[in-house]
Structure 1
Amino acid sequence: MIYTVTLNPALDYFVSVESFKTSEVNRSKADHKAPGGKGINVSRVLKHMGQPSVALGFIGGFTGEYIKSTVQQEEIQTDFIQVEGDTRINVKIKSDVESELNGVSPNISSDNVRDLEKKFEKMVHGDTVILSGSVPNSLPPTVYQHWTSLLKKRGVEVFIDTSGQPLVEAIQAKPTFIKPNHHELSELVGDSIQTFEHAVPHVQSLIDSGIDYVLLTFAGDGALLATKEQILTANTPNGIVKNSIGAGDSTVAGFVSAQKEGMELADAFRFAIATGSATAFSTGLATRSKVESLLADIQITAYKQ
């Protein structure tokens, strides 16, 4: 089974404004709500790809109930831990430029953490856990590292998509997969990464440390996938970017889905990039039909050093 873990879910409130101006009353021309959080996005895209998953994490209050009910209406299984306080609300303003105002997360207690870890204890060899997103201030930045160690001892594959200190700590536990973008890799290694050539030594070092897959994205400039055996590069297909939110989560979901379908590495990489691009080129999250329409435009090439 695939499990996604979202420590910092949100009710995402999307507002479209003709031309957003500060210090003025702005009137929206359209709005909508959606369950947010990187792990929840992964579960939703996995569902679109035909892969079942269980969404785990922490929710609270009326906003948490909205997230739970909406995800369940999409026929995604949930097993959230209830916390005191309300799940945060994030406001996404779509105008001539995109702006975000993210709310404050509720406190996560040590009892809440133990309740989630009890669920980890039921997982078995062959399961996949995707730890996605930021770590709330009420939890230590080492939490992903700790959970990765626990899960790997049980034979569980651990996919991590985070940044900053939580990523620095997590890689010490040698997760199965990480997916930084080039800005996040730059922060991780203390260098400015702008090209494949500049990235490769750093990515190779991560692979040598014991990580099985490093998928590095460069937004519209393509992506790189490294394993112990090979390094592959991919272009980004042409399209009009309508929505950057959730594109990285979709890339992770695409790769996991392709693996579960038994695709070869190059095809799984292509499918992952198509899935991320399908979300970027849509107003919502990627659909299977949109992903498949982009596959032919993505060329996978073996990197030659």
Structure 2
Amino acid sequence: MIYTVTFNPSLDYVVTMDKLNLGNINRAETETIYPGGKGINVALVLGNLGIPAKMLGFIAGFTGQEIEHLSRLYGGNCDFIKLDTGYSRINTKISADTETAVNGQGPSIPSEKLQRLMQQIDELHAGDILVLAGSIPADIPDDMYEQILQRLETRSIRTVVDATGELLRNVLKYKPFLIKPNQDELGEIFQVTLTTDEEIIYYAQRLQTEGAKNVLVSLGSKGALLIGENGTIYRQASPPGRLVNSVGAGDSMVAGFIAGYLHNGNVEEALRLGVCTGSASAFKNWLATKHDVSQVLLTL
């Protein structure tokens, strides 16, 4: 079974307009509400690809109820922990001449609820996959991802971590199966600007020497690079298509990679499916379906 953890889910209020005029009243041309959060996105795309995944995390208030309702509506298997106070956040995504986002803060998570999450994680079995994706709220320990991976260290559970900065780097000693920084995030870890494949490969390999088994670096419209567990370097270009919405594309890449790997354990095939799944989501208003991914695969 695959489990995803989203510490700070959201309702994503997505609006489109021709141009965003700051300081003035703007009227949306279209508006949609989706369940948001990187772990939720990964789980929903896996479900779209026919692979069951269970969503873990925290929800609060009427916004949390709607996150769970919409997640189930889109086929998600939810086991969220309900908080007694506060509200799950609302993130506003504006697609105009440029993409703009305003993200809410989210509720406080008390220690007893964190312990309930740890109990859920303790119930995982050998052979399961756990995906930790996204940031963590400011009021919980900043080593939370480390605490989780430490609990799983000897239990034959593969872990996938999609996070940034020290949150990602500090878990490498627990040898996650897969990490997925994007090009900018990889540069930020080492405080450098990366422009060439050679530079990206060098720093991705440094993360691998620190413990990561597979390092998947998303390159936006240029596709992705993978440093495989055996040290082999793979490069996959993006398929042709028009960017509609970049939100969830990276999460879709993670889901596609997991789906491809589970098919036959071939990381090169997993990379190809990951890039196509991420692109399929980027080419539409929201997350890709299996049909969307199949159509994109035909263009390679």
Within the alignment, does 1:283 sit opposite 2:285 as a pair?
yes
1:220 Cα deviation from its structure 2 partner:
1.0
Alignment of 1:71-86 (within 5 A): 71-83=71-83, 84-86=85-87
1:209 Cα deviation from its structure 2 partner:
2.5
Give the Cα separation in 1 of the matches to 2:200 and 2:175.
Answer: 19
Q: TM-score, length-normalised on structure 1?
A: 0.94
Residue matched to 1:102: 103
Residue matched to 1:204: 205
1:296 Cα deviation from its structure 2 partner:
4.4
Contact 1:278/1:294 (CA < 8 Å) preserved in 2? Answer: yes
Residue matched to 1:113: 114
1:263 Cα deviation from its structure 2 partner:
5.0
For 1:250, which of 230, 243, 252 is the aligned residue?
252
Residue matched to 2:243: 241
Between the two proteins, what is the percent identity of the paired residues? 38
Structure 1 stretch displaced more, 165-174 or 8-17: 165-174
Contact 1:208/1:228 (CA < 8 Å) preserved in 2? Answer: no
Contact 1:4/1:40 (CA < 8 Å) preserved in 2? Answer: yes
Residue matched to 1:88: 89
Q: Deviations over 1:42-61 (max 9, x none)?
A: 11101110011100001000
Q: Deviations over 1:283-302 (max 9, x none)?
A: 1111112212222444xxxx
Give the Cα separation in 2 of the matches to 1:20 and 1:245.
Answer: 18
Give the Cα separation in 2 of the matches to 1:68 and 1:124.
Answer: 25
Residue matched to 2:194: 193
Q: TM-score, length-normalised on structure 2?
A: 0.96
Distance 1:286 1:11, change over 3 A: same
Residue matched to 1:224: 225
Give the Cα separation in 1 of the matches to 2:229 and 2:169.
Answer: 20
Letter in 1 for 2:218: T
Give the Cα separation in 1 of the matches to 2:242 and 2:265.
Answer: 28
Residue matched to 1:38: 38
Q: What stretches of structure 1 of length at least 5 have no aligned partner?
A: 299-305
Moved over 3 A (4+): none
1:243 Cα deviation from its structure 2 partner:
0.6
Give the Cα separation in 1 of the matches to 2:160 and 2:191.
Answer: 23
Contact 2:234/2:268 (CA < 8 Å) preserved in 1? Answer: yes
Contact 2:14/2:32 (CA < 8 Å) preserved in 1? Answer: yes
1:140 Cα deviation from its structure 2 partner:
2.2
Residue matched to 1:64: 64
Residue matched to 1:52: 52
Contact 1:152/1:158 (CA < 8 Å) preserved in 2? Answer: no
Give the Cα separation in 1 of the matches to 2:297 and 2:194.
Answer: 27
Give the Cα separation in 2 of the matches to 1:171 and 1:259.
Answer: 20
How many matched pairs?
Answer: 298
Root-mean-square deviation (CA, aligned residues, Å) is 1.3
